[in-house]
Amino acid sequence: MAVSAAMPTAKERPRRTRTKRVSALPALKLSKLLPSRIDLRDPLQAVLVCEDCGTWVPITGINSRVQKLVPHHTGKAGVAAAIHCRSSNRRVEFDMTLPEWRQALDDAITEASSRTATTVLPKAFSAETDRTLRARAERTAAGRVADWQAALPRVVDADKARRAVPAGDTPAEARSVPTDHLTVQRLAS
Ligand SMILES: [Zn+2]
């Protein structure tokens, strides 16, 4: 293995330690953490998300008098730099029982799923608005092209009529405006 790394990387976290060291920081109370940030499914391998570095850290001393976070580096083992987390050896206060934690977790999950399952019902429209919106929704790009193609022959006809020059010579002078009333005259027979 190459020993070229300038900086040591974070060490693998021990599951349990026997050190007597205790962090000076106040104990973490389970009841004050989000239930989803605690994992007590296997109490002997209990872990929680460290408040300081935001990573899962094993809790040591489950069967002892004092429970603590194991000493740990802040990042991923073997990847991140070896930076000591200040919450290493921090006491964990089990101020809730296992069933209580489970219940809190279940409640949080139920709450979260009910939140996402809620469908926002659209406001009721008047019948007219509803019809308009429905028709608008049904109109597609293809539909619009078809509409244009249907209208095209009429457009072409109109253009043709506009371009047509009347047959015959163009009058040299403008006709005088008739001043007499036009009256219907019977042809003398
Ligand atoms: Zn930490």
DSSP code string of the chain: -----SSPBPPPPPS--------SSPPEEGGGS-GGGEE-SSGGG-EEE-TTT-SEEEEE-TTSS--EEPP-BSS-TTTSB--B-TTTT-BEE--S-HHHHHHHHHHHHHHHHHHHH---PPPPPPHHHHHHHHHHHH--HHHHHHHHHHHHHHHHHHHHHHHPPPSSPPPSSPPPPP-SPP---PPP-
pLDDT higher than threshold 80 for residue 188: no
Least confident of 82-86, 150-154, 185-189: 185-189
Q: Which of 14-18, 127-131, 172-176, 184-188 has the highest mean pLDDT?
A: 14-18
Mean predicted lDDT score pLDDT of the chain: 83
pLDDT digits (tens, 9 = 90+) for 140-169: 777 777 777 888 888 888 888 888 776 666
User: Residue 3 C-alpha to ligand 1 middle, in angstroms?
Assistant: 27
User: Residue 147 C-alpha to ligand 1 middle, in angstroms?
Assistant: 66
User: Residue 104 C-alpha to ligand 1 middle, in angstroms?
Assistant: 23
pTM: 0.57
Q: Report pLDDT for 85.
A: 95
**Residue 135 — pLDDT band, cuts 50, 70, 90?**
confident
Q: Report pLDDT for 1.
A: 43
User: Residue 18 C-alpha to ligand 1 middle, in angstroms?
Assistant: 18
User: Residue 25 C-alpha to ligand 1 middle, in angstroms?
Assistant: 12
Q: Residue 44's closest CA among 26, 64, 29? A: 64
User: Residue 56 C-alpha to ligand 1 middle, in angstroms?
Assistant: 8
d(CA 14, CA 59): 10
Residue 189: how many CB atoms within 10 A of its CB?
A: 3
**Residue 2 — pLDDT band, cuts 50, 70, 90?**
very low
pLDDT higher than threshold 70 for residue 4: no
Which two three-digit tokens encode residue 51?
């408040």
CA atoms within 13 A on the CB side of 149: 6
User: Residue 78 C-alpha to ligand 1 middle, in angstroms?
Assistant: 16
pLDDT digits (tens, 9 = 90+) for 41-63: 998 899 999 999 999 999 999 98
Q: Note whether 70 and 13 are within 8 A (CB).
A: yes
Which residues have beta carbons under 5 A from ligand 1 (an ion)?
50, 52-53, 85, 87
User: Residue 74 C-alpha to ligand 1 middle, in angstroms?
Assistant: 5
pLDDT higher than threshold 60 for residue 30: yes
Q: Report pLDDT for 3.
A: 46
pLDDT higher than threshold 90 for residue 116: no
166 vs 21, more confident: 21
Beta pairing class for 56-60 and 47-49: antiparallel
